Amino acid sequence: MISGWFEHFAGLTPPLQALVAGIGTLALTAAGAALVTAGRLGRGATLDAMLGFASGVMLAASFWSLLQPAIEIAAAEGRADLVTIPAIGGFGLMMVLDVALG
C-alpha cells in the first residue's frame, strides 16, 4: 500500500508534489503544536528536552543543507575564504543571540 502511494506521488508534477508535501508538513506541525498546547507536553523537563532536540535538528539542517554545500561550491571555485567568514559569523551570531535571549 505504501509503495503504491509513493509511486503515485512520484507521478505528480513537481509543483503538485511541493503542495502535497507542504500540506503534509503543515498538518504534522499543527498536530505537534496541539499536543504541546493542549497536553502535558508543554511543561517542565519534557518541554526542555523537546526544545533541545528541535534546536539541534534545525542547527544540523542549516549546516548540512545550506552551509556545507556553499563551502564545497566556494572551495571548488577557489573562493573558500568568501564563505568561511560569513559562516563563522552567522553561527557566532546565533550563539550570542541564544545566550542573550535564552
pLDDT at 19: 94
Q: Are residues 71 and 98 in the same domain?
A: yes
Confirm if 55 and 47 have CB atoms less than 8 A apart: no
Which helix H or strand E contains 57, and what residues bound it?
helix 44-62
Name residue 100's amino acid. Answer: A
Within 8 A by CB and 6+ apart from 90, the residues are 67
C-alpha cell at 19: 503542495
Q: Per residue in 15-54, pLDDT tens?
A: 999 999 999 999 998 998 888 778 766 678 877 888 888 8
Q: Are residues 66 and 50 in the same domain?
A: yes
Q: Which residue has the higher pLDDT, 49 or 81?
A: 49
Q: Are residues 67 and 99 in the same domain?
A: yes
* Structural domain harbouring 83: 44-102
pLDDT above 70: residue 56: yes
- Distance CA(35)–CA(84), nearest Å, equals 40
What is the average pLDDT across 2-16? 84
Q: Which residue has the higher pLDDT, 64 or 36?
A: 64
Q: Are residues 33 and 68 in the same domain?
A: no
Q: Are residues 61 and 18 in the same domain?
A: no
Q: Are residues 12 and 53 in the same domain?
A: no
pLDDT at 26: 93
pLDDT above 80: residue 102: no
User: What percentage of the chain exceeds 90 in pLDDT?
Assistant: 16
Q: Residue 85 to residues 43, 56, 96: CA-CA distances in angstroms?
A: 39, 22, 16
Number of domains in the chain: 2
Q: Are residues 56 and 102 in the same domain?
A: yes
Backbone torsions φ then ψ of 21, nearest 5 degrees: -65, -40
- Range picked from 9-13, 17-21, 77-81 for highest mean pLDDT: 17-21
- Distance CA(72)–CA(83), nearest Å, equals 9
Q: Are residues 63 and 99 in the same domain?
A: yes
